[in-house]
Amino acid sequence: MTYGVKKGYQSLRLRPLMTGLVLAAALAGPMMGSARAQQLQQPEQGNGLSVKQGVEAHRMMVAAANPYAVRAGYDVLKRGGTAMDAAVAVQMMLNLVEPQSSGIGGGAFLVYWDAKTRRMTTYDGRETAPLALKPDVFLAADGKEKEFFDAVAHGTAVGTPGTVRVLDTAQQAHGRLPWASLFEPVIAQAREGFLVSPRLTAAIADAKAKGMGRFPETAALYLTPSGDPLPAGSKLKNPAFADSLEKVAKERSAGFYQGPLADAVVSAVQAAGGVLTKADLLGYEAKERPPVCVRYRVYDVCGMGPPSSGGMTVGMILKMLERYDLKAMGPSPAALHLFAEASKIAFADRNTYMGDADFVDVPMGLLDEGYLADRGAMIDPGKALAPVQAGNPPRKRADFAADTNLGRPGTSHIVIADSYGNMLSMTTTIEAGFGSRVLAGGFLLNNEMTDFAFTPTKDGKPVANAIAPGKRPRSSMAPTIVLKDGQPILVVGSPGGSQIIGYVARTIVGVLDWGMTPQAAIDMGHVINRNGKVTDLEKGSSVEALKADFEARGHEVRISDLNSGLHAIQINRTGGKVTLVGGADPRREGIVLGE
Each residue of 286-326: pLDDT tens digit? 999 999 999 999 999 999 999 999 999 999 999 999 999 99
Per-residue confidence (pLDDT) for residue 23, from 0 to 100: 32
Domain-located, residue 364: no
* Alpha carbon distance 139, 569 (integer Å): 43
Nearest partner of 277 among 154, 163, 131, judged by Cα: 131
* Residue pair 464/352 in contact by the 8 Å Cβ criterion: yes
Residue 218 makes CB contacts below 8 A (sequence gap 6+) with 212, 434, 437, 438, 439, 444
Domain-located, residue 388: no
Domain-located, residue 542: yes
Residue type, 343: S
* Residue pair 34/43 in contact by the 8 Å Cβ criterion: no
Share of the chain above pLDDT 90, in %: 84
Domain-located, residue 90: yes
* Alpha carbon distance 44, 91 (integer Å): 18
E strand or H helix at 423, and its extent?
Answer: strand 423-429
Q: Exposed, middle or buried: residue 457 (CB in 10 Å: 0-12, 13-18, 19+)?
A: middle
CA atoms within 13 A on the CB side of 7: 18
**What is the domain count for the chain?**
1
How many other CB atoms sit within 10 Å of the CB of residue 332? 14
* Residue pair 449/94 in contact by the 8 Å Cβ criterion: no
Domain-located, residue 321: no
The pTM of this model reads 0.91
Q: What is the mean pLDDT of residues 458-485?
A: 95
E strand or H helix at 219, and its extent?
Answer: helix 216-222
Q: What share of the chain is helix, strand, coil (3-state, %, to 5)?
A: 35, 20, 45
Domain-located, residue 310: no
Active site residues: 411
Domain extent, residue 449, equals 22-288+406-594
Domain-located, residue 511: yes
Residue 392 makes CB contacts below 8 A (sequence gap 6+) with none
* Residue pair 45/197 in contact by the 8 Å Cβ criterion: no
Per-residue confidence (pLDDT) for residue 512, from 0 to 100: 98
Domain-located, residue 481: yes
Per-residue confidence (pLDDT) for residue 396, from 0 to 100: 84
Bridging pattern class, strands 556-560 and 534-538: parallel
Q: What is the pLDDT of residues 451-463, one digit of tens each?
A: 999 998 888 899 9
* Alpha carbon distance 301, 295 (integer Å): 6
Look up residue 533 and give its DSSP letter.
S
Per-residue confidence (pLDDT) for residue 18, from 0 to 100: 28
* Alpha carbon distance 392, 216 (integer Å): 50
What CATH number did the domain enclosing 60 receive? 3.60.20.40
